[in-house]
Structure 1
Amino acid sequence: MYGISKRLAKVLVFFFLLSFFSFMILKLAPGDPVMNILGTQEVAVSNQDVEQLREQLGLNKPMVIQYCDWLKKVIHLDFGNSLITGKSVASGIGKAFPRTLLLALSSITVMFLIAVPLGVGSAFYRDGVINKISEIFNLIGSSIPGFWLGFILVDVFAIKLNLLPSMGVGGLKHLILPSLTLGISMAPPYVRLLKTSIIESMEQDFIQSAKARGVLKVRIFFFHVLRKSLIPVLTLFGMSMGSLMGGTVVIEVLFSYPGLGKLAIEAITNRDYSMIQGFILFTGMLVFVINLIVDVLHRFIDPSIAIKEAEQIEI
């Protein structure tokens, strides 16, 4: 019960801090926010237009009242309307998010399809060919920026070989190059960590005892070694969620993929503050919730973590 209350408290504190930061974006923007917004429109602006927008945004009220009014709407998932298109921010995010989610899941799949075989293989065959391949992949993968890798893949598979589309959205083919770019860029740290974790787990006393008792190697690997090795991998996964979101922004712009990242860049370019606020709140809470899920998975994989916490509370 204490653990659940603690996590709920974390969610509430994080939400209010994030909401305040998102709200202050409009205030911290240089110059008059109203003139910044109206300045993007290529039409003559009257004083009446300025006052009307100021009233629409609630900027003629005290800041505390502005924040409370805005927060009430946000709690009901009302992020307001886009200052450029006039459409609901929530509907814009809702339309873009499934595409970003699909890209993220396919990229994570690519990452694990690379990281697991290379990490496991290089841990078990440290003097073998697979370890050499793993070292070369880690060296090259860590040296090449994601956007440069994207350019290389587009040049080879889209321009020279004409096998895959280089931009847009339409079918699974459009996902291949963005997913490969992001997945390959993310894989090297997981390969290294998985290899190190497996080697350390294999050297534990209880693993040596299991081997001495004649327990099958397959059982030792799946029920003991892999289970222990997944804990640091899950930790890295949770910590890299912010990087994953940042990576999707770059990849979506590079491949003209209409997801959250492209939506955010367009909002920043057009000074669409309502959309920027909605994007920050949504992605921030998403990353935080994913980290909470990872935290729960930690306790599921290794119950000793929850036991240690319970003992500390009793003390």
Structure 2
Amino acid sequence: MRQDMKKYILKKMIELIFTLFFVTLLSFLLMRLSSVDPATAYAKRMIGSPTIEQIEAIRLQLGFDKPLLIQYGRWVIDLLHFDLGTSLANGHKVWTDIATAFPKTLGIVFIASVFQIITIIVLSCIAFLSPWKIPKSVLQIICILGVSIPSFYLATVYLDYFAVKKSLIAVTGNTSFLSYISPALCIGVFGASFYTPMLMDALEHESKEEYAFYARCRGLSESRLLFFHFLPRAAVGLIPSFLQSIGLALANATVIEQIFSIPGFGYLIVNHVLDRDTPMIHAEVFFLALAIALCNIAADLIQWAIQRKREVA
């Protein structure tokens, strides 16, 4: 069992390395194919109206004159030495800006995940215990609407109503931990709407198993069966998929943070793409890909462990 686990983890680590390799190489390739020259953008930002000679001097200084593979190879070597370079937009160390912004995004995603878990469990349990079909049908319709509405549109409407019309939250200057709640709710609506029907179906499936029939014969109540038997069994099957959705929430935060003016990782990506800040863009793509890949690997490992446990049982 332990040997199989080691082999599986090693396999996933190799997949992680190849994933990061292709994603970061694609980042360099797309930057090269872009019509906007990073050396020209940097020269205009620093000088204002640079000459062709000044642009070429900056190109040589920053190493943009080298072939793509050489630039990529140097970047990989620097990465292995924990050196991601300096931002071309503000002169800060890339590590410094990422270390400042990434925890904000993780905080938003964490709150969104907690919101999703609580909402999914509460709504699914209420629907399961409800003796009427109408509340279940209404909940299904609400979930369909929640999945259909894009998170960025929901965030725009949310901000317009609560910030502009009601003045309950600030439009700018959102740096406190409490300010993360609003974007987290907008991100979490999709996941809550997506997984609630899945958990409802899983609970219904568990309630029709043979062990549930014999448990009822022993006199156990539906609520006891739900919380001590059905819910734990049903939730286990959703954990791998839910972990993958956390990786997607990280990507989704790139847009939501921009709407709420929160200086998180997504806000950083958008601004540096506009500035053509290549050292920051390559580092941000790397860390975003790493976070999403780690979430997927964790989901795969849990799924593998569940399957192995069922095979042994």
- Scaled to the shorter chain, the TM-score interval is 0.7 to 0.9
The residue that corresponds to 2:146 in the other structure is: 141
> CA distance change for structure 1 residues 273 and 25 in 2, over 3 Å: closer, same or farther?
farther
Deviations 1:242-300 (A, max 9, x none): 43123212211111111011111111111112211111110100111122222333355
1:162 aligns with 2:167: yes
Distance (Å, rounded) in 1 between the aligned partners of 2:78 and 2:249: 29
Of 31-40 and 63-72, deviating more is: 31-40
Q: Cα 1:64–1:148, aligned 2, differ >3 Å: closer, same or farther?
A: closer
**1:208 to partner: Cα distance:** 3.0
1:238 alignment counterpart: 243
Indicate yes or no: 2:159 matched with 1:151. Answer: no
Name the residue aligned to 2:192: 187
Report the Cα offset of residue 97 of structure 1.
0.6
Higher relative contact order (CA 8 A, sep 6+): 2
Going from structure 1 to structure 2, the CA distance change for 1:174 and 1:105 (only over 3 Å counts) comes to same
Which residue of the other structure, out of 258, 267, 272, is the alignment partner of 1:262?
A: 267
Deviations 1:55-92 (CA, angstroms, capped at 9, x unpaired): 33323434433222111112233222111112112211
Cα distance per residue 1:158-200 (max 9 Å; x no partner): 3444333333324344223222222223311011111112212
* 5+ residue gaps, structure 1: 309-315
3-state SS in 2 of match to 1:240: helix
Closer, same or farther: CA 300–194 of 1 in aligned 2, 3 Å: same
Contact 1:165/1:173 (<8 A) preserved: no
Report what 1:100 is aligned to: 105
Taking the aligned partners of 1:133 and 1:14, their CA distance within structure 2 comes to 42
Is 2:62 the counterpart of 1:57?
yes
- CA displacement, residues 95-121 of structure 1 (integer Å, 9 cap, x when unaligned): 101111111111122222222111222
- Amino acid paired to 2:75: W
- Structure 1 stretch 19-28 or stretch 34-43: which is displaced more? 34-43
**Residues 39-54 of structure 1 mapped to structure 2, 5 A cutoff:** 39-40=44-45, 43-54=48-59
Give yes or no for contact 2:38–2:277 (8 Å, CA) kept in 1.
no
Residues in 1 aligned to 2:310 and 2:274: alpha-carbon distance in whole angstroms: 45
Give 3-state SS (helix, strand or coil) of 2:172's partner. coil
| Alpha-carbon contact 1:299-1:305 (below 8 Å) kept | no
Aligned to 1:311: none
Answer yes or no: is the 8 Å Cα contact 1:34–1:53 preserved in 2: yes
TM-score by length of 1: 0.85
Q: Which amino acid letter does the alignment assign opposite residue 39 of structure 2? A: V
The residue number in structure 2 matching 1:171 is 176
Change (3 A) 1:32 1:229: same
Q: Which moved more, 1:173-182 or 1:71-80?
A: 173-182
Matched-pair contact (CA < 8 Å) for 1:121–1:130? no
Within-5 A mapping of 1:19-58: 19-30=24-35, 32-40=37-45, 43-58=48-63
The alpha-carbon distance between structure 1 residues 18 and 152, as it changes in their structure 2 partners (threshold 3 A), is closer
**Counterpart check, 1:196 vs 2:206:** no
Cα distance in structure 2, aligned partners of 1:151 and 1:59: 39
Instruction: Between 43-52 and 212-221, report the one with greater CA deviation.
Output: 212-221
2:136 maps to which residue? 131
Amino acid at match of 1:204: E
**Residue 312 (structure 1) aligns with:** none
Aligned length: 308
CA-CA distance at 1:141 after TM superposition: 1.7
Does the residue aligned with 2:171 lie in a helix, a strand or coil?
A: coil
Q: Which range is displaced more, 209-218 or 2-11? A: 209-218
- Report the secondary structure of 2:193's partner residue: helix
* Percent identity over paired residues: 26
169-178 or 196-205, larger mean C-alpha shift? 169-178
TM-score, length of structure 2 as denominator length: 0.85
Listed as ranges, the gaps of 5+ residues in structure 2 are 1-5
Q: Greater shift after overlay, 208-217 or 101-110?
A: 208-217
1:81 has 2:58 as partner: no
**Does the 8 Å CA contact 2:175/2:263 hold for their aligned counterparts?**
no
Alpha-carbon distance, 1:18 to partner: 2.0
CA contact under 8 A between 1:202 and 1:225: conserved in structure 2? yes
